Chain A
Amino acid sequence: MTNSWTDIKNTDLVVIMGGNAAEAHPCGFKWVTEAKAHRGAKLVVVDPRFTRSASVADYYAPIRQGSDIAFLLGVIKYCIDKDKVQWEYTKNFTNAAYIVKEGYGYQDGLFTGYNEAIRDYNRDSWEYEIGADGFAVMDETLAHPRCVWNLLKQHVAIYTPEMVERICGTPKEKFLKVAEMIATTSARDKTMTSMYALGWTQHSKGSQNIRAMAMLQLILGNIGQRGGGMNALRGHSNIQGLTDIGLMSNLLPGYLTLATDKEATLDSYMSSRGFKPLRPGQTSYWQNYKKFFVSFQKSMYGAAAKVENDWAYDWLPKLDVPGYDVLRAFDMMFQGKMNGYFCQGFNPLMSFPRKNKIRAALGKLKFLVVMDPLQTETARFWQDHGEFNPAKPADVQTEVFELPSTCFAEDEGSLTNSSRWLQWHWAGAQAPGEARSDVWMMAQLHLRLRKMYAAEGGAFPDPILNLTWPYANPADPQPDELAKELNGRALVTLRDPADQTKVIQEAGKLLPGFAALRDDGTTSSGCWIYSGCFTEAGNAMARRDNTDPAETGAYPGWAFSWPANRRILYNRASADMAGKAWDPTRKLIEWNGTNWAGFDVPDIAPASKPGEVMPFIMNQEGVSRLWVRRGMKDGPFPVHYEPFESPITNPIAPKIRGNPAARVFANDMEVFGDSKEFPYAATTYRLTEHFHYWSKHVQVNAVLQPEFFVELSQELAKEKGIANGGWVRVDSKRGFVRAKAVVTKRIKPMMCDGKVVHIIGIPIHWGFMGATKKGFGANTLTPFVGDANIETPEFKAFLVDIRAENPPVS
C-alpha cells in the first residue's frame, strides 16, 4: 500500500476492483465503512461477481474477468475526453511532457521490438529522447507528437465506452456511471483510493492491470494524498516483509537485485545501477544503491567482505535466467531436474496451478522437507486419498520430512502488514509437542552444513563458512538479535564527513536509519529499508502509542513504518507546486518557507525547495511514469490482452493469444483449452470464512463454510439442469473437480463481443486435510502460466465445462 489501512477513512471514493476487501480483509475494510459513515464517501465495486463488498457498495458494475485493462484505459480516455485531469499534478509530477525517442511505436497489440520466437521484446526503443546535456527532453506545452501525453491519448483512443462494453461485458451506461464517479476525483480537493489484490495480480498481465489504475490515479492527482493511493491488499500477514527482505529468486533485501551472468564483476554490476538523474536537480535516491549493497554484504559476511574481494561479490549466486520463480521451479522438478525442496509454511500442492503436475513434480524429488505448524497436503502428496489425491505410495521414492514449527502464538518477532508497519509480537503459549521455531530450524541446518564443510570440505564452502553468526547462543538465535542485524550497525565510529569532530554513531552501536549507511564497509544493514526499526533508542516495532495528532490516521507512534517511519509514500505530492496542500482540510506535509513539515515524515529532503525537486524521488526523472520506459517486460503502456484461455478472441488484436510476452512452458501450452471444448469462463477466489488452506484445520471456520462448492448463474443452471445444492462436475483441460453447486443471482451471464459468456466461480479453500469436508483443490483446474513480469499464476481467468451429476458414492 502506498497509504495505510487507517488512512482509507480520509477518502472520498473507494474503488474496489481486482479485489474483494470486505471478504478478504474485513478489518481493513472497516476503514471504508468509516469513510462512508463520516465523510459521506462512496464505494464502487467492479467485479465479475456481486461479492460481499458489492453488497455494501453505492454502485456495482459487472466485468468479465481478465478485461480490467480495457475498462481502466476506457476510464483514462473518458477523463481525457471530458478534461477531468488534475493538470497541475499531471504536468509537473508525471512524465506527460517527456518526449519519447524516435523509433518507438505500437500497432495491433504489439510494441516495437517484439520477437515471437522467444515471446519477448527488444526494449531499446522504449526510451526518452536524451538531449545533448544528457537529460531527458521535455515539451511542457504537451504539443510534441511524441510526448508521453500525446502517445497516451493515441494509445487509449480505441477504448471507447462501446469497446469497453464489447470486451468487458459491462453495460455502457454502467461503465459511464463508474467513469463519471471516478472522474470527480480529478478535483484538487477530492481523492480516490484504489483497493486491489489478487483479482488484479493473478493474470498473465497482472502487473499491467495495476499499472493501468496507477496511471489513472496519477492523472487524477491521487497519489501521495491522504485518502488516495494504490493500495495493494497483500495476502498473508508477512508477505510484505518476506518480499521486503528479498526472499525471492532475483532479490536481495530492500529491493536490490541479484547479479546476472552478464555481470561478472562488481563494477559491471554497478554500471547498470548508477541511477544518474534524468533531469537537473532531481534526487534519484537509488544513486545510493552501493551503500545499501555493501552494507548488506557486511551484514552477511562481516570482516570477510572487504574492498579487496569486492565486498564478497562472488559469494552471491548469479542468475542465468530472469528468475527461478515457483513456476519455473516446479517445471524443472516436473522434468526431473531438481533433487531437494523445502516448503516453509507453504502448501504448494494446493497453492500452485495444475495440481496434477505439482503432484507429479514432487514425486520426482529425492527429498522434500516441510516445515509447518499444520499437517499439510504437500507433506502427504504421496498418500492415496482417492480422487482428492490419487497416489501410489510404493511408486513414490521421495524421502519426506515433516518438521513441526511453532505458530504465531508461540513465537516472538515482527510482521510487516500491508500498511508497511513492522509490528512486534510476543509469545503467549508454549509450543505443542516438540514443535520448534523456524529460526531454530534454519540455524540448526546451517550449523550442521557449516560443520560438515569445515570437516569435509566440498563445493565452494567460503560463503557458508564465513556467514556472520553473531548470536549469544549460536544454536538458537533470538528475534531481537536478528532484528538488530536487519537494522544495521556502525562498524567503526562514524563521523560527519563535513565535520570530523561530529560523531554520528559510535562503533558497534545500532544505526539511527538508512541515511547513515555508507559504501566503504563501515556500516552493516541486513535490509536498508528496515533501518530505523531497532535503534539505540529501542525496538521501534514494539511501540504502542496510538495517539493520532489531528486524527490524520497516521498513528506515527504505533510500531514502525518503513521507510523511515513514513506513513504515506510520495507524500510531497500531497502539496502543489508552491508547497501548499491541494486540500487544506487534508494537509499532510507543507512547505513552511524553509522546510517541509506536517503530519508525516517527508519523503523528500526536508529543505528541497518546491518547484525544484520533484516528489517521485525513487525515479531518475523525479516524476512518476505514465509511460514506463523499459520498466515492464510487456510494454510501456498496458494493452488489453485476453487470458490464455478466453471465451472470446481479443477484439483489439485478434491474432494474439494471451499476453504475448508471458513465458509459457511447452508442456503447459499443450494443455490450454479452447472455448469449443470448455465454453465457460471460470475464476477462483477466497471466501471470508477461510484463509487459504489453513483455516480448514479450524473447527469454527469449518462450521462456517464446511464444503467445497462452485457458483453459477440461475440462467446457466437452468440451461444445464443443475439444481441449487446439487452436485456438479467441473472440467478443465488439466483435470476435474466434483463440488456442490450454489446457484445464485449474484452471477449473471454477460454479453461479450456478441457472445453470451457464462461465469463459473470456484473458491479455493478445500483439500484432504483438516476439519472441513474433504474437497478438490481449485488448482486442479487452473492453467500453469504466470504474469509476464513477475510470474503470478493466471488463477483468475480460464475455461471450464460444467455438468450436473449424481452425488458421489461414499
Chain B
Amino acid sequence: MASYQSADVVRRSATTFTPPQVRHDQEVAKLIDVSKCIGCKACQSACLEWNNLQEEVGINTGSYQNPHDLTENSWTLMRFTEWDNPETQNLEWLIRKDGCMHCADPGCLKACPAPGAIVQYANGIVDFVSENCIGCGYCIKGCPFNVPRISKVDQKAYKCTLCSDRVAVGQAPACAKACPTQAISFGSKEAMLDLAGERIVDLKSRGFDKAGVYDPAGVGGTHVMYVLHHADKPEIYAGLPANPRISPMVELWKGATKYVGMGLIAAGVVGAFFHRVIAGANSVSAADEANAAALVDKTGGQA
C-alpha cells in the first residue's frame, strides 16, 4: 500500500492549520518538450491503461484531437493547432499535451472547500483524494488551466495524479515512461530545468530564437513544465495562458477566511458553494459565480 503520511503533506484543502511537513521530499517535475512531441498520443493511451480509465468512443469532428476535451476519464489530451508562422511563412503543427500542471501554488486546492479533498505533497504533486471530494466543482473555477472535470457517474472531480502511485514507489508517471521521443521527461524539478536549458540551446541553434521554458511564476511555478519553441507566445499552443494566475476571487476568500471562524459561515457559505451540485451541473454556472462573488464581499467585510 502506497501512502503519503501526514509528514509528506504540504497543503491540504479547507484545512486551517499548517501541516507539519516534517519530510522535505525532492520536488519532482515532468518536462514536456513540445518541439520533440510527435502527437502520437502514447501518453493518452498509457494514462488510460495505467489508471484503468474507460473513455467513451467518440466521433471525429474535423480534427486529430480525440477526445475533444479533457474529461473525467481522459486526464491528459494532445491538443493540435495548425499555425502559420508569420515570420517564416511556414506551417507549424503545434501539438501540446494538456493536463494538470501541478502548480506550486495550486488554485484548485485553494478553492476547494472540502477538507482533504485536494492535497499537495512535499514532492510537489497535487492530488485529488476522491473519498473527501464533495463534487462542488470549485476546483475547476480555481484552476487557471481549466483542468479538473467532474464525473457524471459519481459527481467527484478527477484529474491527472502525476501517477502519485507510481512516483511513491520510485517509478515515472505512465505517460512519461511511454513517450517514444522523450518529449516527456520526468525527474527532479532541478534536473528538468537543466534539461530544459539544454533543449533551448538546441532549439536556438535551429533558428527558434524565442525558445524557452514554461514554468509560470503566477502560480509559483509548476511541476509540469513545457519547452516551447515560441515561448514568447504560449497562447498559440491551444490557448496555453501567458500569465496564469489564480482567480483573485479565490485568493481573496481563501486568504481572508483562513483563520476566521468558519462556523459562522459554514452552513450558508458552503451551501452556496455547493449550489452547483444541487443544480446538477458539471461546470460552474453564472449563478455560482454570483454566489461566490457575494460571498467574497461578505467574508471580505467580516475579516
Would A703 and B66 count as touching, CB distance under 8 A? yes
Given A706-B57, A707-B60, A743-B62, A30 and B180 touching (CB < 8 A)?
Answer: yes
How many interface residues does chain A have, given as a range? Answer: 35 or more
A60: chain B residues within 8 A (beta carbon): 90
Mark B57-77 against chain A: 1 for CB-CB distance below 8 A, else 0: 111111110110000001000
Would B44 and A742 count as touching, CB distance under 8 A? no
Would A52 and B93 count as touching, CB distance under 8 A? yes
Given A26-B181, A30-B181, A50 and B91 touching (CB < 8 A)?
Answer: yes
Q: How far is the CB of A30 from chain B (nearest CB, A)?
A: 5
- Contact residues of A: prevailing secondary structure: mixed
Binds A, one of B19-27, B35-43, B217-225, B265-273: B35-43
Mark A683-714 against chain B: 1 for CB-CB distance below 8 A, else 0: 00001110000000001111111111100000
Residue from A53, A55, A723, A742 in contact with B60 in the complex, judged by beta carbons closer than 8 Å: A742
Q: How far is the CB of A774 from chain B (nearest CB, A)?
A: 11
- Report which residue of B39, B63, B64, B205 has the largest number of chain A beta carbons within 10 angstroms of its beta carbon: B64
With A and B bound together, what is the CA distance between A703 and B55 in angstroms? 7
With A and B bound together, what is the CA distance between A52 and B91 in angstroms? 12
Residue from A29, A701, A702, A741 in contact with B62 in the complex, judged by beta carbons closer than 8 Å: A741
A22: chain B residues within 8 A (beta carbon): 38, 40, 181
Q: How far is the CB of A761 from chain B (nearest CB, A)?
A: 12
A687: chain B residues within 8 A (beta carbon): 64
Q: CB of A119 within 8 A of chain B?
A: no
Among residues 721 to 752 in chain A, which have CB atoms less than 8 Å away from a CB atom of chain B?
723-726, 740-746
With A and B bound together, what is the CA distance between A40 and B205 in angstroms? 9
Would A773 and B38 count as touching, CB distance under 8 A? no
**CB within 8 Å: A-B pair count:** 121
Would A703 and B67 count as touching, CB distance under 8 A? yes
Mark A48-64 against chain B: 1 for CB-CB distance below 8 A, else 0: 00101111101010000
A50: chain B residues within 8 A (beta carbon): 91, 93
With A and B bound together, what is the CA distance between A687 and B55 in angstroms? 20
Q: CB of A37 within 8 A of chain B?
A: yes
- Report which residue of B54, B60, B202, B205 has the largest number of chain A beta carbons within 10 angstroms of its beta carbon: B60
Would A742 and B62 count as touching, CB distance under 8 A? yes
Chain A residue with minimal CB distance to B54?
A699
Mark B7-49 against chain A: 1 for CB-CB distance below 8 A, else 0: 0000000000000000000000000000111111110110011
Given A33-B182, A700-B49, A688 and B41 touching (CB < 8 A)?
Answer: yes
Q: How far is the CB of A418 from chain B (nearest CB, A)?
A: 15
Q: CB of A410 within 8 A of chain B?
A: no
Q: CB of B92 within 8 A of chain A?
A: yes
- Report which residue of A23, A26, A709, A725 has the largest number of chain B beta carbons within 10 angstroms of its beta carbon: A26
Residue from B38, B48, B61 in contact with A700 in the complex, judged by beta carbons closer than 8 Å: B48
With A and B bound together, what is the CA distance between A744 and B66 in angstroms? 16
A707: chain B residues within 8 A (beta carbon): 58-60
With A and B bound together, what is the CA distance between A56 and B208 in angstroms? 13
Q: How far is the CB of A28 from chain B (nearest CB, A)?
A: 8
Would A52 and B61 count as touching, CB distance under 8 A? no
With A and B bound together, what is the CA distance between A22 and B55 in angstroms? 25
Q: CB of A772 within 8 A of chain B?
A: yes
A743: chain B residues within 8 A (beta carbon): 62
Q: CB of B56 within 8 A of chain A?
A: yes
A773: chain B residues within 8 A (beta carbon): 57, 59
B36: chain A residues within 8 A (beta carbon): 33, 37, 56
Q: How far is the CB of A45 from chain B (nearest CB, A)?
A: 11
Would A55 and B182 count as touching, CB distance under 8 A? no
A702: chain B residues within 8 A (beta carbon): 57
Q: How far is the CB of A703 from chain B (nearest CB, A)?
A: 4
Given A22-B38, A23-B40, A29 and B180 touching (CB < 8 A)?
Answer: yes
Would B95 and A55 count as touching, CB distance under 8 A? yes
A56: chain B residues within 8 A (beta carbon): 35-38, 181
Chain A residue with minimal CB distance to B61?
A725
Chain A residue with minimal CB distance to B48?
A700
A37: chain B residues within 8 A (beta carbon): 36, 182, 199, 202
B38: chain A residues within 8 A (beta carbon): 22-23, 26, 29, 52-53, 55-56, 688
Given A23-B40, A52-B38, A700-B49, A745 and B84 touching (CB < 8 A)?
Answer: yes
Would B59 and A706 count as touching, CB distance under 8 A? yes
- Report which residue of A55, A741, A742 has the largest number of chain B beta carbons within 10 angstroms of its beta carbon: A55
Q: CB of B232 within 8 A of chain A?
A: no
Chain B residue with minimal CB distance to A55?
B93
A-side residues, CB < 8 A to B, are: 22-23, 26-27, 29-30, 33-34, 36-37, 40, 50, 52-56, 58, 60, 687-689, 699-709, 723-726, 740-746, 771-773
16 contacts between A and B (CB under 8 A): A23-B38, A26-B42, A52-B40, A55-B93, A687-B64, A688-B40, A699-B57, A703-B55, A706-B59, A723-B62, A725-B62, A740-B60, A740-B61, A741-B62, A744-B82, A745-B82
| For the complex of A and B, 5 pairs with smallest distance between CB atoms | A725-B62, A724-B62, A26-B180, A55-B93, A707-B60
Q: Given A29-B181, A33-B36, A746-B82, list of 8 further CB < 8 A pairs? A: A27-B180, A29-B38, A33-B181, A37-B182, A37-B199, A55-B39, A704-B41, A745-B84
